[in-house]
Amino acid sequence: MKALVLSAADAPLTVEELPDPVPGVGEVVVDIAAAALNHRDVWITKGKYPGIKFPAILGSDGAGWLEGRRVLLDPGFHWGEDPNAQSKAYHILGLPSHGAFATRVAIPRANVYEVPAHLNMEQAAALPLAGLTAYRALFFRAALKAGEKVLITGIGGGVALFAFQFARAAGAEVFVSSGSDEKLARALAMGAAAGVNYQTEGWAKQLKELAGGFDVIVDSAAGPGFPDLLSLLNPSGRIVLYGGTRGPIPNLNPQQIFWRQLNIMGSTMGNPTDFSNMVAFVSKHKIEPVVDSVFPLEEGQAAFERMAGGVQFGKIVLRV
Amino acid sequence: MKALVLSAADAPLTVEELPDPVPGVGEVVVDIAAAALNHRDVWITKGKYPGIKFPAILGSDGAGWLEGRRVLLDPGFHWGEDPNAQSKAYHILGLPSHGAFATRVAIPRANVYEVPAHLNMEQAAALPLAGLTAYRALFFRAALKAGEKVLITGIGGGVALFAFQFARAAGAEVFVSSGSDEKLARALAMGAAAGVNYQTEGWAKQLKELAGGFDVIVDSAAGPGFPDLLSLLNPSGRIVLYGGTRGPIPNLNPQQIFWRQLNIMGSTMGNPTDFSNMVAFVSKHKIEPVVDSVFPLEEGQAAFERMAGGVQFGKIVLRV
């Protein structure tokens, strides 16, 4: 098979011929048609993940063909019995096992789902990990209800965009923030109630004036702006944190948390039930993943560079 | 009637003769037999609460007689319709309305509950605000289940002791921390699984070795030790914060929160349902509030000084 291969930390990705995968017990081999990038993949190329072995085939998101059916892949393995948290054995497609940036991948049959009928293969490939993360954050963790006011920070990222689309489909009024006016404009065109640029002075006050307050905030930045987000929550509001791209939270006022009965909830990825529910939700609401750009597998290195640049709006897809 | 009166900020409290309270619509006048102090009362004497008018009668906790029945008082007014958070109109007995440090108090009939049969008046007076706060934190917020491992920080304070007793009664395995070895010894004698002094080097590591990890932590300190508490939570663990005596949380690692799916929950006091459930729980489990000391009303100033000193273990009660 052909695969996009990382041969060493910081080396450019190249397409190589490798032996076909051999399915283990309970596994099937899926012919990949499209795959999508996640920030995790970029970090792995920098040697940031422990236990990496070269040559590595990355890629947590894939869609393709199995037995004549269009399928997409749940990237999670061994979540465990507890719906509230993953087991220590939990890991995802693309490291340590070979991932989806290849013409073929071996995966447990239980991880294979039918592609929602309204999606093409590139849209389907854009869905798994980001859709799963957004779905769990909004519904399993924050228990979002119709009519609530929601803020999605960092709109343009894969999870943020799915959270935006899912929350709107669930009947919430959804506001957004971004460091890019262009991304804000695109979110407004997609139905955002309003948006603010967090690089402008007084962004939190602007949001307060626009929205009043939020019932739910979905954030993956953390960092120095996090206390401002707390101040934007309504009493008993929930903020779901699924990342920390801006680093540690430097100064949190306990009174703000206890007096207003706030909830700070960590969330990461999701279990098979979350995945199954997410795919059903996408089918029911005919949600179309936002695809930023499509690169042929041979131009995978350029796709990674676009991801690292942070200018994308939606998922970056590889056509395999 | 007689009342313990605060005539100015930082003035010593003195017993004065004041006119009897006149009940408003829906109100009754309760003959107070015992009352109890909260930190809030001490803060009010320092002029720290907005809107204070002198002479003020403090006191949020009271028990006494109404129509020949032994009663205790729910100190909360106007919580509002939302069980998840109090309304802006919410306030508690003792400021701005005259409180329980008097021979008589006017209060809505709906705030009057029968004293559990196994309690004397001093124990009953110790129960309301601290019991309410502990009950909501453990059960409404953290949804504590039998068999879970719980850490109560700052054992010796009123809320912490009720949280300790309630969690044990609910079938949890309960650990404690304190800055005082004597308080730890008393908690061990009451059935704590183990305790550590948070002023010793490596206290978090000690707790980790003793307990493995906690499903629920109840804390009112916040401050620099808070991230250590988070590190002691099991995956998907809940930490309920009901105060902030040690000030802002200086440095929180987002990865710890999202990767382990943690929950940080603010909680304060409770609504009438929490209060009613708490009194029923105390009756059912025959819980006896820990009374640190009893002072006659005339020696109220000495009671306040004991509270301010922080040496108490349990509630400080005034016999009226």
CB pairs under 8 A between A and B: 119
* Interchain contact, A266 vs B267, CB within 8 Å: no
Question: Is there a contact between A17 and A30 (Cβ–Cβ < 8 Å)?
Answer: no
CA distance A207 to A205: 5
Residue of A nearest to B230 (CA): A266
According to the model, what pLDDT value does residue A281 have?
Answer: 98
According to the model, what pLDDT value does residue A310 have?
Answer: 87
pLDDT tens digits for range B36-86:
999 999 999 998 778 788 999 999 999 999 999 999 999 999 999 999 999
CB of A199 within 8 Å of any CB in chain B?
no
Domain pair A2-127+289-319 / A132-266, same fold: no
CA distance B281 to B234: 27
pLDDT tens digits for range A195-213:
999 999 999 999 999 999 9
Q: Where are the domains of chain B?
A: 2-127+289-319, 132-266
Helix and strand numbers, DSSP H then E, in chain B:
10, 18
Q: Give the closest residue to B199 by CA, choosing from B218, B175, B182.
A: B182
Distance from CA of B298 to the nearest CA of A (A): 33
For residues B134-144, average pLDDT: 98
* Interchain contact, B253 vs A267, CB within 8 Å: no
For residues B211-240, average pLDDT: 97
pLDDT tens digits for range A33-54:
999 999 999 999 998 778 788 9
Residues 6+ apart with CB under 8 A from B95: B44, B49, B51, B52, B56, B58
* Interchain contact, A235 vs B84, CB within 8 Å: yes
Q: Give the closest residue to B30 by CA, choosing from B250, B320, B288.
A: B320
The yes-or-no verdict on residue B237 having pLDDT over 90 is yes
The two three-digit tokens of residue A239, written as one number: 């903020």
pLDDT tens digits for range B128-137:
999 999 999 9
According to the model, what pLDDT value does residue A56 have?
Answer: 94
According to the model, what pLDDT value does residue B190 have?
Answer: 97
According to the model, what pLDDT value does residue B53 have?
Answer: 86
According to the model, what pLDDT value does residue A283 have?
Answer: 98
pLDDT tens digits for range A57-114:
999 999 999 999 999 999 999 999 999 999 999 999 998 889 999 999 999 999 999 9
- Give, to the nearest 10 degrees, the angle between helix A128-135 and helix A272-284: 100
Question: Is there a contact between B178 and B184 (Cβ–Cβ < 8 Å)?
Answer: yes
According to the model, what pLDDT value does residue B310 have?
Answer: 87
Instruction: Report chain A residues whose CB lies below 8 A from the CB of B235.
Output: 82, 84-86
Task: Measure the CA angle with vertex A311, ends A133 and A203; round to 5°.
Answer: 80
Closest partner residue to A257 (CB to CB) among B82, B258, B266 is B266
CB of A236 within 8 Å of any CB in chain B?
yes
Distance from CA of B237 to the nearest CA of A (A): 9
According to the model, what pLDDT value does residue B75 have?
Answer: 98
DSSP letters for B36-50:
E--HHHHHHHTT-ST
The yes-or-no verdict on residue A295 having pLDDT over 80 is yes
According to the model, what pLDDT value does residue A95 have?
Answer: 87
Secondary structure (3-state) at B141: helix
The two three-digit tokens of residue B102, written as one number: 């008097």
Please give the DSSP secondary-structure letter assigned to residue A224: G
CA distance B4 to B59: 9
CB of B262 within 8 Å of any CB in chain A?
yes
The yes-or-no verdict on residue A160 having pLDDT over 90 is yes
Q: Where does the pLDDT of residue B268 fall: very low under 50, low under 70, confident under 90, or very high at 90 and above?
A: very high
CA distance B131 to B118: 16
For chain A, what is the mean pLDDT? 96
Kindly give the residue spans of alpha helices, DSSP state H, lying in chain B.
Answer: 39-45, 121-126, 128-135, 158-169, 181-189, 203-211, 226-232, 254-259, 272-284, 300-309
According to the model, what pLDDT value does residue A96 have?
Answer: 87
* Interchain contact, A250 vs B253, CB within 8 Å: no
Q: Where does the pLDDT of residue B293 fall: very low under 50, low under 70, confident under 90, or very high at 90 and above?
A: very high
For chain B, what is the mean pLDDT? 96
Secondary structure (3-state) at A134: helix
DSSP letters for A162-187:
HHHHHHHHTT-EEEEEES-HHHHHHH
Instruction: Return residues 70-89 of A near B (CB < 8 Å).
Output: 82, 84-86
Closest partner residue to A243 (CB to CB) among B223, B254, B261 is B254
The residue type at B316: I
Helix and strand numbers, DSSP H then E, in chain A:
10, 18
CB of A143 within 8 Å of any CB in chain B?
no
CA distance B33 to B16: 17
CB of B243 within 8 Å of any CB in chain A?
yes
Residue of B nearest to A90 (CA): B259
Q: Where does the pLDDT of residue A161 fall: very low under 50, low under 70, confident under 90, or very high at 90 and above?
A: very high
Continuous segment of H or E residues that includes residue A32: strand A27-36
| CATH class of the B132-266 domain in this structure | alpha beta
Residues 6+ apart with CB under 8 A from A212: A149, A234
Cα R_g (chain B), whole angstroms: 19
Phi, psi of A307 (to 5 degrees): -60, -45
According to the model, what pLDDT value does residue A47 have?
Answer: 82
Percent of chain B with pLDDT over 70: 100
CA distance B164 to B171: 11
* Interchain contact, A263 vs B264, CB within 8 Å: yes
CA distance A34 to A129: 14
- Of the residues A220, A242, A258, the best mutation for testing chain B's interface (the one with the most B CB atoms within 10 Å of its CB) is A258
According to the model, what pLDDT value does residue B192 have?
Answer: 98
According to the model, what pLDDT value does residue A93 have?
Answer: 97
pTM for this model (two decimals): 0.97
For residues A259-276, average pLDDT: 98
CATH architecture of B2-127+289-319: Alpha-Beta Complex (3.90)
For residues B296-312, average pLDDT: 95
Residue of B nearest to A253 (CA): B248
According to the model, what pLDDT value does residue B52 have?
Answer: 86
CB of A190 within 8 Å of any CB in chain B?
no
pLDDT tens digits for range B169-212:
999 999 999 999 999 999 999 999 999 999 999 999 999 999 99
Question: Is there a contact between B295 and B59 (Cβ–Cβ < 8 Å)?
Answer: no
CB atoms within 10 A of CB A88: 8
For residues A116-141, average pLDDT: 98
The two three-digit tokens of residue A293, written as one number: 């750009």
The residue that leads in pLDDT, B19 or B52, is B19
Distance from CA of A120 to the nearest CA of B (A): 32
Distance from CA of A3 to the nearest CA of B (A): 30
Which of A147-151, A217-221, A265-269, B51-55 is predicted with the least confidence, judged by mean pLDDT?
A: B51-55
The yes-or-no verdict on residue B236 having pLDDT over 90 is yes
CB of B143 within 8 Å of any CB in chain A?
no
